[in-house]
A and B are shown apart, each in its own frame.
Chain A
Amino acid sequence: MAVADRDVLIIGAGHAGAMVAVGLRQKGFTGSILMVGEEPALPYERPPLSKAYFVGALEEQRLYLRKAEFWQERDVEVRVSTIVARLRHEDHEAELTDGTVVRYRHCVIATGGRVRKLSCPGADLAGVHYLRTLADVDAIRGDLKDGARMVVIGGGYVGLEMAASARKLGYDVTLIEALDRVLARVTSPIISRFYEAQHRAHGVDVRLGTGVTAIEGGDHVTGVRLATGEVVPADLVVVGIGILPNTELAHESGLACDNGVVVDELCRTTDPDVFAIGDVARHPNRYAADAMRLESVQNAVDQAKTVVGVIMGQPEPYKDLPWFWSDQYDLKLQTAGLAIGYDETIVRGDATTAPFSVVYLRDGQIIAIDAVNAIKDFMGAKGLIQAGVKPDKARLADPAVPMKELTGA
Chain B
Amino acid sequence: MKVGDIRRVELPSGAAAVYRLADGFYATADLCSHGDASLADGELEDDNILCPYHLGSFCVRTGAAVAAPCIDPIATYPLEIVDGTVTLVWTGD
Q: Residues of A with Cβ closer than 8 Å to B?
A: 19, 22, 45, 65-66, 297-298, 301, 323, 325, 332, 334, 375-376, 378-379
Given known A375-B37, A376-B41, A379-B42, contact A323–B52 (CB-CB < 8 A): no
Given known A379-B41, A379-B42, A379-B43, contact A325–B53 (CB-CB < 8 A): yes
A301 contacts across to B, CB distance below 8 A: 68-69
Given known A334-B53, A379-B42, A379-B52, contact A297–B69 (CB-CB < 8 A): yes
Helix, strand, loop or mixed for chain A's interface? helix
Residue contact A332 to B53, C-beta cutoff 8 Å: yes
Partner of A323, one of B37, B43, B55: B55
B37 contacts across to A, CB distance below 8 A: 375
Residue of B nearest to A383 (CB): B43
Residue contact A325 to B54, C-beta cutoff 8 Å: yes
Residue contact A66 to B52, C-beta cutoff 8 Å: no
Residue contact A375 to B52, C-beta cutoff 8 Å: yes
Residue of B nearest to A382 (CB): B55
Residue contact A45 to B69, C-beta cutoff 8 Å: yes
Residue contact B68 to A19, C-beta cutoff 8 Å: yes
8 contacts between A and B (CB under 8 A): A65-B69, A65-B71, A297-B54, A297-B69, A298-B55, A375-B37, A375-B52, A378-B52
Q: Which of B46-92 contact A (CB under 8 A)?
A: 52-55, 68-69, 71
Give the docked Cα–Cα distance between A278 and B48 (Å).
Answer: 26
Residue contact B68 to A375, C-beta cutoff 8 Å: no
Residue of B nearest to A64 (CB): B71
A325 contacts across to B, CB distance below 8 A: 53-54
Give the docked Cα–Cα distance between A298 and B53 (Å).
Answer: 12
Residue contact A375 to B41, C-beta cutoff 8 Å: yes
A66 contacts across to B, CB distance below 8 A: 71
A323 contacts across to B, CB distance below 8 A: 55
Residue of B nearest to A325 (CB): B54
B41 contacts across to A, CB distance below 8 A: 375-376, 379
CB proximity of A17 to chain B, nearest CB, Å: 13
Residue of B nearest to A298 (CB): B55
Residue of B nearest to A323 (CB): B55
Give the docked Cα–Cα distance between A325 and B54 (Å).
Answer: 8
CB proximity of A260 to chain B, nearest CB, Å: 23
CB proximity of A399 to chain B, nearest CB, Å: 15
